[in-house]
Amino acid sequence: NGRFERIQENIPAHCLQLLDFIVKEPEILRMPVAIDFGTASTTAGVLDFKQESGVAEMLSEKIRHAVFYDDNGRETFILPTLVGVRSLKDYKNPEYAFGYEALELMSYVEKNYTVFYDIKRWIAYGDKAEELTDSEGRRVFIKRKDILREFFIYVIHALEDYIKGKVRAVHFSAPVKQKRTFQKLFQEMLPEYVVE
């Protein structure tokens, strides 16, 4: 705020010896994570495991889910399947909001944020472009599969943060009649992952 204040000259201090610690890289998961991409909500998880020297050992039949925070700040395993557009200042890299954050953008009616729901239907037409606008009136057209990719990267990173591991393979639930369509699009969208 531009004001300077005088700091007291004698500040009491205590020296404490820190515990020795090592910063480790997260291990790469040897098993696929599952993402249930629903029309209204999405969830992601992996079986409870212990991984030592590259071998995964199942500890229980419990599932470790990605954790999200609802509009009241409470932990939840379910993310609303919504994508919002915060800003198009850098039109090549739109700033998105997902799930509860996108839901919050919908409440700012006067700001005119773009929020997409029912994005599961986009799977059949992934190459179709959608018009994105932000609260400043900027516009850009982005392919649906590029928007979906950002949504899934968000979900995968939320799971990685929670389990402290790197995801290598992903299993997506898909309707039987659309299994090939789902698999083809997911492999195009997420080439850095093994898609099952």
Per-residue pLDDT tens over the stretch 22-50: 888 888 888 899 999 999 999 999 986 66
Task: Tell which residue, 123, 103, 124, 192, has the closest CA to residue 153.
Answer: 192
Confidence band, pLDDT 50/70/90 cuts, at residue 63: confident
Other Cβ atoms less than 10 A from the Cβ of 74: the count is: 8
Tally of residues, the chain: 196
Can you tell me the distance from the alpha carbon of 50 to that of 63, in angstroms, rounded to the nearest whole number? 13
Other Cβ atoms less than 10 A from the Cβ of 3: the count is: 4
- Through-space distance between the first and last CA atoms of the chain, rounded to whole angstroms: 54
Strands 165-166 and 139-143, by their bridges, are unpaired
Question: Which pTM was predicted?
Answer: 0.82
The per-residue pLDDT for 7 is 64
The per-residue pLDDT for 56 is 54
Model confidence at 192: pLDDT above 70: yes
Which whole-number Å values give the CA distances from 45 to 35, 58, 67, 170, 185, in the listed order?
A: 7, 14, 9, 10, 21
Model confidence at 70: pLDDT above 70: yes
Can you tell me the distance from the alpha carbon of 184 to that of 125, in angstroms, rounded to the nearest whole number? 12
Helical packing angle, 144-163 and 179-189, nearest 10°: 80
Can you tell me the distance from the alpha carbon of 44 to that of 65, in angstroms, rounded to the nearest whole number? 6
If you average pLDDT over residues 178-189, what whole number do you get? 90
Task: Tell which residue, 165, 159, 191, 2, has the closest CA to residue 67.
Answer: 159
The per-residue pLDDT for 50 is 62
The per-residue pLDDT for 21 is 76
